[in-house]
Amino acid sequence: MPTMNIIQAVNNALRIQMALEPKSIVLGEDVGKFGGVFRATSGLYDEFGEERVIDTPLAEAGIIGAAIGMAVYGMRPIPEIQFSDFIFPAFDQIVNELAKFRYRSGGQYPCPVVIRTPVGGGIRGGHYHSQSPEALFVHTPGIKVVIPSNPYDAKGLLLSCLRQDDPVLFMEPKKIYRASRGDVPENDYTVELGKAKVTREGDQVTLIAYGAMLHVIEEAAAKAAEIGISCEVIDLRTLMPFDIETITESVTKNGRAVMVHEAPQTCGYGAEICSSLYERCMAHLEAPIGRVCGFDTPFPYSLEHEYMPNAARVLGAIRKTLEW
Amino acid sequence: MSAVEVAAVQTDDDLRRVLDDDGKVISGVTVPEVSDEELHHLFDTMLMVRIVDERMMRIQRQGKLGFYMKSLGEEATHLSVFPLRQDDWIYPSYREQGAWFWRGYTIEQFLNQLFGNCKDATKGRQMPVHHSANWLNMVSISSPVGTQIPQAVGTAMGMKASGTDQVAMTFFGEGTSSTGEFHVGMNFAGVSKAPAIFVIRNNGWAISTGTEKQTAAKSFASKAIGYGMPGVRVDGNDILAVIQVANDAVARARAGEGPTLIECVTYRVEGHSSSDDPSVYRNPAEPEAWGPRDPLNRLRGYMKNKRLWTEGMEKEISDRCNDEISKYMALAEAHGAPEVESMFDDVYQDLPWHLKEQKEYLLSQARTKNPHLHN
């Protein structure tokens, strides 16, 4: 079985789907001959031609607007937004149009657009190459949000997204684009949407994260184990709709939990997860659910290392829940 | 004439016209081929829009309808769709009733949407005049203006990639040419040579804002030059000129020659919507000046000269239309709202767990009375 990083896994999924579904069209800035600034669409232009792998003019609202028009016409567009920090010119097209098309037309016009976009910090990209705007889209009824944490899931989740009929924001954690490597089958397979994965079992504290932060909580769990604390680690994988059963079961069992993401804390994605857990697990909770998140500041450049949640801070939160 | 020359039209003298204000053919111009039967159909449609508009605004004023938007004076621009085939696509804005009726949308369907009742094809999801009809390839209308422009281009790009000779037409007002989406959509179309036709209804007013506050360019059509496509100005109250220009644009698009921008110069004789009061911001003499250019009157004059129009014929259409409106209005009012549980349908293809929970919760609660019920 070949070893791939996330970029290669995404590329592999795109190639499989493009070959299988002639209606699929990749479009975006620099996705054609160049193969994307992160190389995720590398080779697709040569293999599938310029009508199906389109270098668009530099305008995100146009990329998403055109993708919507393609989808309602019956194509399967896969637009790329070069950085999720650049998604905001297309915010109206995503929030008011893409996510609402099926609903506002009474089901007449499904809009199966899968937007791929790199997300998150840790690459010394400063404010405009590091943000994590996922909660804004989770708060938008009508669109699904998926963030993989490893190459196997990246491929399987992306193929699942491309084979269902709802719009999806597929966010690729760029800090671990190349760093996360693993065995990825060359064959066609899918990973079910809406299902979290317990990546480590433990019976004291449940740690919940997604994307690049999954690796941070795994590191924290390993450090905790060294000092005799047993942590369960959950990779959410799909943020909307999220897997309420898996997290409820784990937190009910352990009575303690820590939620981690790099987006700002206030009204961040973790707020919803914590609230949902309080509603379901209150009687079993031994301590308030801890949150380790980005601060409520714009994403800093020089102090990025201080801004990003890390294993030490997660370990601190783990201790706090145990000592409460 | 090259594309760039066409795009450079900037003065009133370049306004394409076929009929004068009385409906007589201006000497020396080419008249597009329109059969007698088609002329009758065009007349029917324009008259129908006028009657429907009048009746709907009346019931809006009576408090039976939440909102309405009329098209008085702009009916001919809607029929830019004349050369389209049924397999072509239309991305309308909210003021092209004639395009819907021309295409086969019925008064019954129209009324059910306005009332947002359980027979509404869009399930009561949007406020009045936001129609959607996938069986006619007419795409769901959005209130934020201009969003449909890049979408129409995307459809046209899809048509091109699929190797069909279909085309996509989109409508919007001149105010919409100020949006980013106009620029973005036009630019995508120009670059991709997508088979798209952009129809600007320049009716002089974007709610209370006049054209001079939307652009410093001498015409809206002239903007086409920046996107490498032809831009044409046409008298939007002259149905034959509108058809002629639309014919050319559709033929170009079908032949793979790319997009065209059409500026239909017309006038919004009444308010923006039922919520508007133009007396606050414009001289009441201004709409009066447009009276003599009325598009329906000009078509009537043309058909009279061809002995295709009689008073009896017009009365018959008018009576039929009024009867139909009365019949379906009563039904539309009588049909109740969509079932409460339908609120959760079509958010996604399948109902996710959290919506299932919210649906069960809502159904477990006492029903709330609709304070806006109009009867």
Domain presence at residue A221: yes
Q: Do the Cβ atoms of A108 and B352 come within 8 Å?
A: no
Pick from A318, A324, A323, A120: which is nearest to A208 by CA? A318
Q: Partners of A170 in the beta sheet?
A: A116, A146
Q: Do the Cβ atoms of B349 and A104 come within 8 Å?
A: no
- Rounded to a whole number of angstroms, the distance from the CA of A273 to the nearest CA of chain B is 12
B348 touches chain A (CB under 8 A): yes
* pLDDT band per the 50, 70, 90 thresholds, residue B13: low
How long, in residues, is chain A? 324
Same domain, A276 and A316: yes
Q: Do the Cβ atoms of A103 and B157 come within 8 Å?
A: no
Summarize chain A as % helix, strand, coil (round to 5). Answer: 40, 20, 40
Count CB pairs under 8 A between chains A and B: 147
Domain presence at residue A242: yes
CA–CA distance, B203 with B269 (Å, rounded to integer) = 8
Average model confidence (pLDDT) across chain A: 98
Query: Residues of B with catalytic annotation?
Result: 268, 272, 281
Closest Cβ–Cβ partner in A51, A65, A102 for B161? A51
CA–CA distance, A180 with A213 (Å, rounded to integer) = 12
Q: Give the residue from chain A lying closest to B338, CA to CA.
A: A106
Q: Partners of B265 in the beta sheet?
A: B202, B235
Same domain, A177 and A209: no
Same domain, A207 and A277: yes
Q: Considering its fold, how many domains does chain A have in total?
A: 2
Same domain, A74 and A210: no
- Rounded to a whole number of angstroms, the distance from the CA of B160 to the nearest CA of chain A is 8
Query: Residues of A with catalytic annotation?
Result: 129
Q: For residue range A190-248, what is the model confidence (pLDDT) as tens digits? A: 999 999 999 999 999 999 999 999 999 999 999 999 999 999 999 999 999 999 999 99
Q: How remote is the C-alpha of A72 from its chain's centroid?
A: 25
CATH code, A252:
3.40.50.920
CA–CA distance, A314 with A182 (Å, rounded to integer) = 25
Q: Do the Cβ atoms of B147 and A142 come within 8 Å?
A: no
Domain presence at residue A41: yes
Q: For residue range A145-185, what is the model confidence (pLDDT) as tens digits? A: 999 999 999 999 999 999 999 999 999 999 999 999 999 99
**DSSP single-letter state for residue B362:** H
Closest Cβ–Cβ partner in B152, B346, B352 for A241? B352
Asked if the model's pLDDT at residue B302 lies above 90, the reply is yes
Q: Which residues of B touch A106 (CB under 8 A)?
A: 120-123, 125, 132, 346
Average pLDDT estimate for B95-103: 97
- What pLDDT is stored for residue B74 in this prediction? 97
Q: For residue range B328-349, what is the model confidence (pLDDT) as tens digits? A: 999 999 999 999 999 999 999 9
- What pLDDT is stored for residue B374 in this prediction? 54
Q: Give the residue from chain A lying closest to B162, CA to CA.
A: A23
B127 touches chain A (CB under 8 A): no
Q: Which residues of A touch B123 (CB under 8 A)?
A: 106-107
Domain presence at residue A192: no
In the block, tokens 């987006």 appear at A263
CATH code, A48:
3.40.50.970
Find out whether the peptide bond into A309 is cis, omega within 30 degrees of 0: no
Q: pTM value? A: 0.96
- What pLDDT is stored for residue B190 in this prediction? 98
Asked if the model's pLDDT at residue B12 lies above 70, the reply is no
Last residue of a domain, one of A128, A157, A183: A183
- What pLDDT is stored for residue A90 in this prediction? 98
Q: For residue range A114-156, what is the model confidence (pLDDT) as tens digits? A: 999 999 999 999 999 999 999 999 999 999 999 999 999 999 9
Same domain, A170 and A25: yes
* pLDDT band per the 50, 70, 90 thresholds, residue B14: confident
- Tokens linked to B140: 């769901």
Q: Do the Cβ atoms of A57 and B140 come within 8 Å?
A: no
Q: Strand (E) positions, chain A?
A: 3-5, 24-28, 53-55, 76-80, 114-119, 144-146, 168-173, 181-183, 197-200, 205-209, 231-235, 238-240, 257-264, 290-294
- What pLDDT is stored for residue A313 in this prediction? 98
Domain presence at residue A190: no
Asked if the model's pLDDT at residue B7 lies above 80, the reply is no
Same domain, A235 and A162: no
CA–CA distance, A143 with B29 (Å, rounded to integer) = 52
Q: Which residues of A touch B157 (CB under 8 A)?
A: 54, 66, 69-70
Q: For residue range B21-80, what is the model confidence (pLDDT) as tens digits? A: 999 999 999 999 999 999 999 999 999 999 999 999 999 999 999 999 999 999 999 999
Average pLDDT estimate for B232-250: 97
Four-residue CA torsion sign, A38, A41, A47, A53? negative
Last residue of a domain, one of A139, A157, A183: A183
CA–CA distance, B67 with B69 (Å, rounded to integer) = 7
Same domain, A61 and A97: yes
B152 touches chain A (CB under 8 A): yes
Q: Which residues of A touch B133 (CB under 8 A)?
A: 108
Average pLDDT estimate for B264-293: 93
CA–CA distance, B92 with B198 (Å, rounded to integer) = 10
Asked if the model's pLDDT at residue B5 lies above 70, the reply is no
Q: Do the Cβ atoms of B152 and A69 come within 8 Å?
A: yes
Last residue of a domain, one of A148, A183, A218: A183
Q: For residue range A21-36, what is the model confidence (pLDDT) as tens digits? A: 999 999 999 999 999 9
- What pLDDT is stored for residue B2 in this prediction? 42
Q: Give the residue from chain B lying closest to A101, CA to CA.
A: B140
- What pLDDT is stored for residue B8 in this prediction? 36
Q: Which residues of B touch A88 (CB under 8 A)?
A: none
Q: Which residues of A touch B140 (CB under 8 A)?
A: 101, 104-105, 108-109
B161 touches chain A (CB under 8 A): yes
Q: Which residues of B355-368 are buried (b: 16+ CB within 10 A; e: fewer)?
A: beeebeeeeeeeee
Asked if the model's pLDDT at residue B229 lies above 80, the reply is yes
Hey, which residues 165-194 in chain B have their CB within 8 Å of chain A? 168, 180-181, 184-185, 187-188, 191-192
Reported ipTM: 0.96
Is residue B124 within 8 Å of B133, Cβ to Cβ? Answer: no
B121 touches chain A (CB under 8 A): yes
CA–CA distance, B158 with B284 (Å, rounded to integer) = 46
Amino acid at A48: F
CA–CA distance, A249 with A179 (Å, rounded to integer) = 31
Same domain, A241 and A282: yes
Same domain, A13 and A101: yes
Average pLDDT estimate for A265-278: 98
Q: Which residues of B touch A142 (CB under 8 A)?
A: 347-348
Cβ-in-10-Å burial (0-12, 13-18, 19+) of A279 comes to exposed
Average pLDDT estimate for B359-364: 98
Closest Cβ–Cβ partner in A69, A106, A194 for B151? A69
Q: Which residues of A10-42 are buried (b: 16+ CB within 10 A; e: fewer)?
A: bbbbbbbbbeeeebbbbbbbbbbeebbebebbb
Same domain, A29 and A136: yes
Structural domain containing residue A126: 3-183
- What pLDDT is stored for residue B370 in this prediction? 87
Q: Do the Cβ atoms of A62 and B89 come within 8 Å?
A: no
Q: Partners of A115 in the beta sheet?
A: A169
- Rounded to a whole number of angstroms, the distance from the CA of A159 to the nearest CA of chain B is 17
Q: For residue range B193-227, what is the model confidence (pLDDT) as tens digits? A: 999 999 999 999 999 999 999 999 989 999 999 99
- What pLDDT is stored for residue B214 in this prediction? 95
Domain presence at residue A40: yes
B322 touches chain A (CB under 8 A): no
Closest Cβ–Cβ partner in B91, B158, B185 for A70? B158
Closest Cβ–Cβ partner in A70, A106, A240 for B125? A106
Closest Cβ–Cβ partner in A72, A73, A92 for B144? A92
- Tokens linked to A125: 């990209």
Same domain, A168 and A214: no
B347 touches chain A (CB under 8 A): yes
Asked if the model's pLDDT at residue A323 lies above 70, the reply is yes
Average pLDDT estimate for A104-109: 98
Q: Give the residue from chain A lying closest to B154, CA to CA.
A: A66
Same domain, A19 and A145: yes
- What pLDDT is stored for residue B371 in this prediction? 85
- Rounded to a whole number of angstroms, the distance from the CA of B92 to the nearest CA of chain A is 13
Q: Report, in angstroms and rounded to the nearest whole number, the Rg of chain B calculated over CA atoms.
A: 21
Measured at the CA of A169, the angle between CA A163 and CA A172, to 5 degrees, comes to 100
Asked if the model's pLDDT at residue B3 lies above 90, the reply is no
- Rounded to a whole number of angstroms, the distance from the CA of B271 to the nearest CA of chain A is 26
- What pLDDT is stored for residue B349 in this prediction? 98
| DSSP assignments along B169-199, one per residue | EEEEEGGGGGSHHHHHHHHHHHHHT-SEEEE
**Residue A239 three-state SS:** strand
Q: What percent of chain B has pLDDT over 70?
A: 96
Domain presence at residue A14: yes
Closest Cβ–Cβ partner in A61, A73, A101 for B140? A101
